Amino acid sequence: TRMLAAGELAGAGLDVYEHGTDVNADLRRLANVVLLPHMGSATIEGRMEMGEKVIINIKTFADGHRPPDQVFPAML
């Protein structure tokens, strides 16, 4: 936030918020920040790719292999 306000960072486009819709008030006030409610993947192409990834992960798991997009709790 400080770097954006000082002009050290030209701008920011944020599509996902850390705490849902509870966005830092300082970010909301900055003219060089664009905030969107998790819409970056809301395209036909994006949704199709998500579905294809799900199918690949399920088939890979069903074949006894580790899914390519598996996330472990330690990674969170």
Q: 70 or 48: whose pLDDT is higher?
A: 48
38 contacts 16 by C-beta, under 8 angstroms: yes
The chain-wide mean pLDDT, for the chain, equals 88
Domain locations in the chain as residue ranges: 1-38, 40-69
pLDDT at 67: 93
pLDDT > 90 fraction of the chain, expressed in percent and rounded:
54
Q: Phi/psi at 7 (nearest 5 deg)?
A: 80, 5
